[in-house]
């Protein structure tokens, strides 16, 4: 008599999008080919690689993938989806291209993980007396229009109704060994990974110091 968990284990190997299985030629051959849109592919179900069905080995392989490829791997079957959708896996893939030290927070939408281009990051700048879009553009080596677009601003006067602005990152080196916080900015109406150059979200520089001493 089989274990009650056997059915669940078998479900992990079921493709999320069942493919067509066609008979290969000649008819006497017992081989089958899995096709998606007419193209033959190798999948865990028709391959001869047991490693593709081992969770630990699969994790070791998938953690080498960039974020877009990790998202594709999650569509292969339920086992791959379970591994590729793991938060630790997605965080690792998100940080890797930019050599981030840490990524803190939980995105409100799963679509956040689909893109980790430089446009996904921003610097948090607390507005002080004398700030203007032009002066901030010079300070951070970006264009005024890019600041306005990122912050959903229609005019330069929008700066006076806010406590902070999100600044596009022009130099990727700023992200190296940095800590980003996922935030949904109510003014910008977008979710971004925010870098605080002078400390942490609470404005306490010692928070950054603690992070450096514990690494």
**pLDDT digits 0-9 by tens, 7-26:** 555 555 555 555 555 454 55
Q: DSSP labels for 12-60?
A: TTSBSSPPEEEE-SSTT---EEEEETTEE---TTT-S-GGGG-HHHHHH
Q: Are residues 113 and 210 in the same domain?
A: yes
12 within a domain of the structure (yes/no): no
Which residue, chain included where needed, has tokens 């690494």? 215
Determine, yes or no, domain membership for 8.
Answer: no
CB pairs under 8 A, 24+ apart, for 106-109?
106/182, 107/182, 107/191, 108/184, 108/191, 109/191
Phi-psi region of 28 (alpha: psi -120 to 50; beta: other; left: phi over 0): alpha
In this structure, are 135 and 203 located in the same domain?
yes
The predicted structure's pLDDT at residue 178: 92
Same domain (yes/no): 77, 148: no
- Looking up residue 123, the CATH number of its domain turns out to be 3.10.350.10
Stronger pLDDT, 41 or 29, i.e. the higher one:
41
Within-domain flag for 134: yes
Contact 67, 59 (CB under 8 A): no
pLDDT score, position 206: 41
Asked whether residue 43 is assigned to any structural domain, the reply reads yes
Q: Is residue 93 part of a domain?
A: no
State residue 28's pLDDT score. 45
Task: Extract the tokens encoding 85.
Answer: 């959708």
For the full predicted model, state whether its pTM sits above 0.95: no
25 and 51 in a common domain = yes
Q: What is the pLDDT of residues 89-117, one digit of tens each?
A: 899 999 999 999 999 998 988 888 888 89
Question: Same domain, yes or no, for 51 and 156?
Answer: no
Other beta carbons within 10 angstroms of residue 151's beta carbon come to 22
141 and 59, same domain (yes or no):
no
Q: What is the total count of domains within the chain?
A: 2
Q: Say whether both 104 and 207 belong to one domain.
A: yes
Whether the per-residue pLDDT at 177 is higher than 90: the answer is yes
Query: Does residue 45 lie in a domain region?
Result: yes
One domain, residues 105 and 156: yes
Q: CB–CB of 81/74 below 8 Å?
A: yes
Decide if pLDDT at 186 tops 80.
yes
Q: Is residue 14 part of a domain?
A: no
**Residue 52 structural domain:** 20-85
Helix (H, G, I), strand (E, B) or coil at 171: coil
Q: Is residue 169 very low, low, confident or very high in pLDDT (cuts 50, 70, 90)?
A: very high
Whether 90 is in a domain gets the answer no
Residues 81 and 116 reside in one and the same domain: no
State whether 44 and 135 are in the same domain: no
Q: What is the mean pLDDT of the chain?
A: 77
């Amino acid at each position: 008599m089989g274990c009650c968990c056997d059915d669940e284990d078998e479900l992990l190997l079921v493709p999320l999008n069942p493919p067509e299985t066609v008979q290969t030629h000649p008819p006497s051959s017992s081989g089958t080919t899995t096709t998606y849109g007419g193209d033959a592919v190798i999948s865990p179900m028709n391959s001869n690689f047991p490693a593709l069905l081992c969770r630990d080995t699969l994790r070791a392989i998938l953690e080498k993938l960039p974020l877009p490829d990790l998202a594709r791997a999650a569509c292969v079957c339920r086992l791959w989806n379970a591994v590729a959708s793991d938060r630790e896996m997605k965080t690792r893939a998100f940080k890797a291209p930019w050599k981030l030290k840490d990524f803190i927070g939980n995105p409100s939408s799963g679509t956040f993980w689909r893109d980790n281009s430089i446009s996904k990051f921003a610097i948090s700048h607390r507005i002080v007396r004398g700030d203007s879009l032009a002066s901030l553009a010079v300070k951070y080596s970006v264009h005024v229009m890019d600041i306005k677009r990122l912050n959903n601003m229609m005019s330069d006067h929008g700066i006076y109704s806010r406590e902070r602005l999100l600044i596009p990152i022009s130099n990727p080196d700023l992200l190296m060994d940095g800590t980003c916080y996922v935030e949904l900015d109510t003014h910008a109406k977008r979710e971004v990974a925010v870098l605080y150059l002078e400390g942490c979200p609470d404005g306490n520089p010692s928070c950054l110091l603690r992070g450096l001493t514990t690494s």
